[in-house]
Amino acid sequence: MEIQNDLPKTFDPQGAEDKWYQKWLDKKVFKPVPGKQKKTFTVLMPPPNVTGKLHMGHALDATTQDALIRYKRMKGFETLWIPGTDHAGISTQAVVEKLIWKQEKKNRHDLGREEFTKRIWAWKEQYGSEIVNQQKKMGVSCDWDYSTFTLDDIPNKAVKKFFVMLYNEGLIYQSDYIVNWDPVLQSAISDAEVEHKEVKGFFYYLKYKVKEDPDMELIIATTRPETIFADTAVAVNPNDERFKDLIGKTAIVPICNREVPIIGDEHVDIEKGTGCLKVTPGHDFNDFEIGKRNGLPIINILNKDGTFNKNAPEIEGLKPKDARAEVERILTELGSLVEKKDHVHPVGHGERSDEIVEPMVSKQWFLNTTEMARVAVEAVEQGDMSFFPKGWENTYFAWLRNPKDWCISRQLWWGHQIPVYYCRHCDTQWAAEEAPTQCIECKDTDIFQDPDVLDTWFSSGLWPLSTLGWPDEKAMEEKGFDKFYPNETLITGFDIIFFWVARMMMMGMKVTGKAPFKHTYIHAIVRDKQGRKMSKSLGNGIDPLDMVQQYGCDAMRFTLAAGSGYNRDLNLDPERIEGYRNFVNKLWNAFRFVYPFLDKAKDELPVKSEWHLHDKWILAELNTVAKTMNEAFDVYRFDDASAEIYSFVYDKFCSWYIELSKNILYGNDEKAKIIRATMLKYCFKKIVNLLHPITPFITEEIWSYFDDKSLVATQEYVEFDKSLENAEVQEMMNKFIDITTGIRNIRSSVNMKPKDEIDVKLFTDDKKLAKFVYESRHFLKDLANVKSGTIRNKAQEKPKKSASLATAHTEIFIPLEGIIDLNEQVNRIKKDMEKTQNEYKKVESKLNNQNFMANAPEEVRAEVQEKAKLFQDKLQSLNQILDSFL
């Protein structure tokens, strides 16, 4: 019977995505609205940098946060998802500076600070909005009215207030300290912004003479001989019998002939190296600490651009690589270079510039984090904030339990300029939230502001506060600070736990005494299908918008959700996205089947007495899905939620329930048609509801055919219903599916034609199952073309000349005489046995080969043994089948 169907044959993702996103905006779906829970649920978006396109990591962020916020919205929470973008000081300045140089051959100094920052603002206005458009294409349901930029007025006030507060408490101070210096950016960068790469180099063994004993020479190994111009001591371990008598004497540094003390310090490793260490406090982190312990002077030999300065006259103006070659030449001429050995070692590179980072002493601003770190640790230890998965708290603790003072200044022009002012007249220094016009001491007007800007993470650390209006009281009231702070959940990657999570915890608790969020869910890092980090150099990056264009947003989101649970990495292959697009299409095709019968469906389920066994089964299975998905979402197991609904739609609803429904819907029993159409409508609405947080667009499209007056986005999420539990029917139906699948497999194994009707003999000792199969017997005709059959207990005699298969609960026999050519079947089995026997002999010969067994790797021997067992099992099975035909 032909059924008229006016639904499109294929789902159009692009048309649905634009249409429904605009509809959600028009209906203000993303605004916080009080719900039945009478509780708020706030999620804070990690602000993407304004430097370019979003990548797959952002897409995973967006998917997991959006799935969570849509779920909580449907659960009846007053939800708020706060969006925003970060000014990304180093990255943005680098991008714009390169652009200006390319177009005008000018650097920032040619333009001056005011003009340069004006250019960056213009660039930000042009490209910053692209990120929002990309996020909308991915379906993010945040409240755009809360959108914040880290250099907006409120965040700027927050940064100044917090800085001044800590400055006045003495926690922020200025000091000459060794930092990671990026010579390209010409700025200090944090330890976390340094990537260590293996670099091929050399160990240079140098001779240092001892002044008091001209015949004695100390051999010192170094990978950086060019830094000898900054040596201010030679160190030995005071417990080293070889050198302890030299402590207090004087060493002479080659080339510059500087006399430096020989000191004792336990940092020197007695076992490794030569036992003697050149100490360069100005250009090595460990040496800097040795210098502090021993009161050594500091000599700086580098300019800000990484070239050598006048303190190293022989190499002045050279870059380190060229300087090293020149120093090697001079040392060789002087006879001070004893030996040169190949050596591979990790060298720090700037994350943004990819240039070798130079340790250098520089005057910087620091924040003493000791007390704030202690409080942040206690908050997690006491459960005020919890990590999911819990193991990530160890990464958090590793940094906070051993805090270092945080270098918060950067020598940039783009960012929050440090709110410290100086008087040229009386040298007074002070911090102020508002720019002063005169000195606070002498009242002179010749004042200036510190030229440095703050580390980007300083403003990002205040993100949970500033996005809700702090410290502006009017803005706090308008944005609901007291209602939405603390946030409920933070979702981010593990690579910024110490960058961002720890800083937000320290700073938020310093201001409010409360942890800024209750949960931190750490999602995976997206890598390519081979597990490699996505990068421009490898050319393995995947643009999420390309995937949206090619496969649809729902398919991409489902792929990311299905791969995001408690795993560390998510290896992404575009073919997986294609696979989940097939799932989206499967859902659409299933709905196309159901759609023509919806006019017969009722809005309410029929009374239970009218439910068929299959109805009870599918409702119980769907109820189990609802239970699992609710539980999974509550602990951020997006993978479990995705797997549960995927399996249900494919393996139960489409493959079985719809198939079992076809003859009813196309039959003549009108009452049965109405009941089945009602059940299908009910199930489909629940499926769409459950899927909506993960695949919002197709679910909203399908929902519109059920109800064009409401949105699925605003429906209550499906809850577990105890009255629908039916473990017995679920067990029986799943066994019935096993039996049906077994019959189909037997038919396939003997090449039986689909049109051939068969007789089936079933043997089981499960009386309840026998009754269930008997009551469902007519469905075996639809599903496996079974004409007739019997059900007996396993003790009964089994039929001869039959194909058989045993499940865990039922033995299935299909008599083949008169249906297929038995002689042909016997010959086919014999050929199969002969082929299997030959394959087994090849494997067996290896097992009998003593030389092979003695020398082959263990995994190879195990593979051969496994093959032998498989062939033996197959031969045994074929023998049993053959016996049944003879």
pLDDT digits 0-9 by tens, 116-169: 999 999 888 877 778 888 999 999 999 999 999 999 999 999 999 999 999 999
- The string of pLDDT tens digits covering residues 622-675 is 999 999 999 999 999 999 999 999 999 999 999 999 999 998 999 899 999 999
Q: Are 800 and 882 in contact (CB under 8 A)?
A: no
Half-sphere exposure of residue 829: CA atoms within 13 angstroms, side-chain side: 23
Which of 270-274, 352-356, 363-367, 784-788 has the highest mean predicted lDDT (pLDDT)? Answer: 363-367
Q: Is the dihedral of CA 474, 477, 480, 482 positive or negative?
A: positive
Per-residue pLDDT at 93: 85
Local structure of 8: helix, strand or coil: coil
d(CA 344, CA 842) in angstroms, rounded, equals 48
Section 504-533 average pLDDT:
93
Concatenating the DSSP letter of every residue in 716-751 gives PPP---GGG--HHHHHHHHHHHHHHHHHHHHHHHTT
Spell out where 530-661 has E strands: 569-572
Who wins on pLDDT, 347 or 674? 674
Thinking of the domain 550-725, which architecture would CATH place it in? Orthogonal Bundle (1.10)
Confidence of residue 813 (pLDDT cuts 50, 70, 90): confident
Confidence of residue 1 (pLDDT cuts 50, 70, 90): very low
Which 8-state DSSP code applies to residue 659?
H
Do you find a cis peptide bond into 574, omega within 30 degrees of 0? no
- The string of pLDDT tens digits covering residues 10-68 is 899 999 999 999 999 999 999 999 999 999 999 999 998 887 678 888 899 999 999 99
Per-residue pLDDT at 73: 98
Closest CA to 175 of 359, 364, 360: 364
Concatenating the DSSP letter of every residue in 328-397 gives HHHHHHHT-EEEEEEEEEEEEEETTT-PBPEEEEEEEEEE--HHHHHHHHHHHHTTSSEEESGGGHHHHH
d(CA 455, CA 179) in angstroms, rounded, equals 13
Residue 416 CA: distances (Å) to CA of 69, 166, 330, 450, 460: 32, 16, 46, 11, 11
β-pairing verdict for 40-44 and 487-493: parallel
Section 551-565 average pLDDT:
95
Q: Can you read off the two tokens belonging to residue 704?
A: 């519109």
β-pairing verdict for 786-792 and 429-431: unpaired
Q: Can you read off the two tokens belonging to residue 471?
A: 């410290």
Task: Give the CATH superfamily of 196-355.
Answer: Valyl/Leucyl/Isoleucyl-tRNA synthetase, editing domain (3.90.740.10)
d(CA 880, CA 54) in angstroms, rounded, equals 61
Q: What percent of the chain has pLDDT over 70?
A: 98
Q: Are 352 and 193 in contact (CB under 8 A)?
A: yes
Residue 304's contacts (CB-CB under 8 Å, 6 or more residues apart) are 181, 183, 186, 411
Interior angle at CA 748, CA 745 and CA 750, nearest 5: 115
Per-residue pLDDT at 885: 66
Q: Can you read off the two tokens belonging to residue 135?
A: 């996020």
d(CA 420, CA 429) in angstroms, rounded, equals 7
Scanning the structure block, which residue is given the tokens 């469902």? 776
d(CA 354, CA 115) in angstroms, rounded, equals 27
Q: Are 256 and 334 in contact (CB under 8 A)?
A: no
Helices (H) and strands (E) in the chain, counts: 29, 29
d(CA 691, CA 717) in angstroms, rounded, equals 10
- Could you report how far apart the first and last alpha carbons of the chain are, in Å? 45
d(CA 232, CA 246) in angstroms, rounded, equals 16
Scanning the structure block, which residue is given the tokens 């947003």? 553
Section 671-696 average pLDDT:
97
Largest CA distance in the chain: 115
Per-residue pLDDT at 644: 97
d(CA 459, CA 147) in angstroms, rounded, equals 15
pLDDT at 534 over 80: no
Q: Are 509 and 19 in contact (CB under 8 A)?
A: no
Local structure of 72: helix, strand or coil: helix
Per-residue pLDDT at 422: 96
pTM of the entire predicted model: 0.84
CB atoms closer than 10 angstroms to residue 753? 9
CB atoms closer than 10 angstroms to residue 829? 17
Q: What is the CA radius of gyration of the chain?
A: 37
d(CA 482, CA 473) in angstroms, rounded, equals 11
Per-residue pLDDT at 886: 64
d(CA 161, CA 149) in angstroms, rounded, equals 17
Section 544-549 average pLDDT:
92
The contacts found for 283-290 with CB under 8 angstroms, 24 or more apart, are 283/178, 283/224, 283/227, 283/230, 283/358, 283/359, 283/360, 283/361, 284/178, 284/227, 284/359, 285/178, 285/359, 288/177, 288/178, 288/359, 288/361, 290/233, 290/235, 290/263, 290/265
Q: Is the dihedral of CA 824, 829, 830, 836 positive or negative?
A: positive
Residue 858 CA: distances (Å) to CA of 218, 564, 741, 854, 863: 51, 35, 38, 9, 9
Q: Is 341 annotated as a binding residue?
A: no
Per-residue pLDDT at 294: 94
Half-sphere exposure of residue 497: CA atoms within 13 angstroms, side-chain side: 25
Domain 13-151+460-549 has CATH 3.40.50.620: yes
d(CA 356, CA 350) in angstroms, rounded, equals 6
Q: Can you read off the two tokens belonging to residue 517?
A: 């969020």
Residue 675 backbone phi and psi in degrees, to 5: -65, -45
pLDDT at 569 over 70: yes
Q: Does this chain's domain 13-151+460-549 share its CATH topology with 196-355? A: no
- The string of pLDDT tens digits covering residues 68-113 is 999 999 999 999 999 999 998 888 888 888 888 889 998 888 899 9
Alpha helices in 35-152 (DSSP H): 56-74, 89-104, 108-111, 113-137
Which 8-state DSSP code applies to residue 176?
E
Q: What is the domain partition of the chain in residue ranges?
A: 13-151+460-549, 196-355, 550-725, 730-820, 823-885
Do you find a cis peptide bond into 486, omega within 30 degrees of 0? yes
The contacts found for 95-104 with CB under 8 angstroms, 24 or more apart, are 95/51, 95/52, 95/123, 96/120, 96/123, 96/414, 99/123
pLDDT at 313 over 80: yes
Section 218-242 average pLDDT:
94
Local structure of 581: helix, strand or coil: helix
Q: Are 684 and 702 in contact (CB under 8 A)?
A: yes
- Cβ-based burial of 645 (10 A; exposed 0-12, middle 13-18, buried ≥19): buried
What integer best gives the mean pLDDT of the chain?
91
Section 742-769 average pLDDT:
86
Specify whether the backbone of 794 is left (phi greater than 0), alpha (psi in -120 to 50) or beta: alpha
- Cβ-based burial of 310 (10 A; exposed 0-12, middle 13-18, buried ≥19): exposed
